[in-house]
């Protein structure tokens, strides 16, 4: 029996909807105050804020880490599918087979598992690796992966800290330009307004992009670790020779409410097939 592939990711409506709602709310309020869209456009302000923020971020972080963090930005618009219910049933099925024929009989099936973490942990269990060593090895891998996510989140958070300050620098530079030539007073007010566009870009990019991205990366890291903890606990329970029903009871604690209900349905269907 091959383990089914993870559920395909789908569009993250929270990311897309939240971004549209935030921008729409800000611009909507601006228009209600009779603001004009053209007043918010400023190529120079965008160059100062984005270029300055990127430069400061590169100064604060290794280039490779910044590149890796940038590669994660697109994935934040995709919500990973929740396969925890199917994963639980797969582990329980492995446990049932191991209890009947011995864990060594799972060797071939372990090699066919698509999930890399489950395949590695199950292979170690089949090879008879000491339970403590197995848990220690897999927890180390979990820590390394989580640390990589954490480092990527810190890149976005550092950019979110730099952007508002760079925006203020852009505003000050704009004011310097305006105050340098007061010969035409009619242009001073417009010039001052344009100078503050950089501040809007800095504060806006920090609070609508960089800081939310860092927070969501952390949430994704937590979810990924919980999934791996479910797998590790299940495989260790199989290696200990626990009753499949006991394993199911333990692993259900990792499932959210909706996934727990789905797992019960899958369990019932599986039971009916075995009875037939």
For 239-274, the DSSP string reads: HHT--HHHHHHHHGGGS-HHHHHHHHHHHHHHHHHH
The alpha carbon dihedral of 103, 121, 267, 249 has a sign of positive
pLDDT tens by residue, 98-133: 988 889 988 888 888 888 999 999 999 999 999 999
Q: What is the pLDDT of residue 253?
A: 87
The answer, yes or no, to whether residue 275 has pLDDT greater than 50, is no
Please report, rounded to a whole number, the percentage of residues in the chain having pLDDT higher than 70: 88
Q: What is the pLDDT of residue 7?
A: 53
Segment 265-270 shows an average pLDDT of 51
Angle, to 10 degrees, between the axis of helix 211-240 and the axis of helix 116-126? 20
The answer, yes or no, to whether residue 258 has pLDDT greater than 60, is no
The answer, yes or no, to whether residue 178 has pLDDT greater than 50, is yes
Report residue 78: phi and psi, to 5°: -120, 130
Confidence of residue 206 (pLDDT cuts 50, 70, 90): very high
The answer, yes or no, to whether residue 234 has pLDDT greater than 60, is yes
Q: Using an 8 Å Cβ cutoff, are 234 and 91 in contact?
A: yes
Paired with 10 in beta bridges are 79
């Amino acid at each position: 029996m091959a383990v089914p592939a993870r559920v395909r990711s789908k569009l993250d409506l929270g990311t897309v909807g939240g971004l549209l709602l935030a921008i729409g709310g800000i611009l909507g309020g601006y228009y209600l105050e009779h603001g004009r869209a053209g007043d918010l456009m400023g190529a120079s302000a965008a160059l100062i804020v984005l270029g300055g923020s990127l430069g400061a971020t590169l100064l604060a972080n290794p280039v490779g880490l910044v590149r890796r963090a940038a590669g994660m930005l697109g994935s934040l618009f995709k919500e990973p599918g929740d396969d925890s219910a199917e994963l639980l049933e797969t582990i329980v099925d492995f446990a049932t087979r191991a209890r009947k024929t011995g864990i060594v009989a799972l060797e071939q099936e372990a090699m066919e598992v698509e999930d890399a973490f489950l395949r590695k942990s199950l292979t170690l269990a089949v090879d008879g690796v000491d339970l403590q060593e197995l848990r220690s090895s897999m927890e180390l891998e979990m820590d390394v992966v989580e640390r990589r996510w954490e480092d990527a989140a810190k890149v976005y958070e550092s950019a979110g800290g730099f952007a508002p300050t760079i925006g203020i620098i852009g505003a000050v530079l704009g004011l310097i330009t305006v105050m340098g030539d007061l010969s035409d007073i009619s242009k001073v007010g417009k010039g001052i307004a344009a100078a503050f566009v950089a501040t809007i870009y800095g504060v806006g990019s920090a609070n609508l992009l960089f800081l939310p991205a860092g927070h969501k990366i952390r949430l994704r890291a937590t979810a990924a670790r919980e999934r791996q903890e479910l797998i590790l606990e299940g495989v260790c329970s199989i290696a200990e020779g626990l009753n499949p029903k006991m394993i199911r009871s333990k692993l259900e604690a990792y499932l959210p409410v909706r996934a727990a209900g789905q797992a019960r349905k899958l369990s019932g269907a599986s039971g009916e097939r075995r009875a037939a």
